[in-house]
Amino acid sequence: MAEATFEKHVINKLEHMEKTMNYIKEYIEDSKLTNEEKELLEESYKREKEGKLVSSKELKKRLAQ
């Protein structure tokens, strides 16, 4: 019984730490970007979801033409 309680406590602590780390990572990443960079990043996420991004290999091909 004590082991199960300890395991739950450890899991809860780890989950809390993970949430905190994710928040910190998000804050640090966002604080380094200008508003324009944030908008461009959001646009790139949108294009990625829509399948509209071009690979660097494809871009090099297109530029070489």
pLDDT digits (tens, 9 = 90+) for 30-46: 667 788 988 998 898 89
**pLDDT higher than threshold 90 for residue 19:** yes
Reported as half-sphere exposure (CB side, CA atoms, 13 A), residue 4 has a value of 1
Residue given tokens 């530029």 in the structure block: 63
* Whole-number Cα distances in Å, 43 to 6, 25, 32, 40, 65: 45, 20, 17, 5, 27
Count how many domains the chain has: 1
Question: What domain range is 13 assigned to?
Answer: 2-64
Backbone angles phi, psi at 38, to 5 degrees: -60, -45
**Cα distance between residue 27 and residue 19, in whole Å:** 12
pLDDT level of residue 1 (50, 70, 90 thresholds): low
pLDDT level of residue 14 (50, 70, 90 thresholds): very high
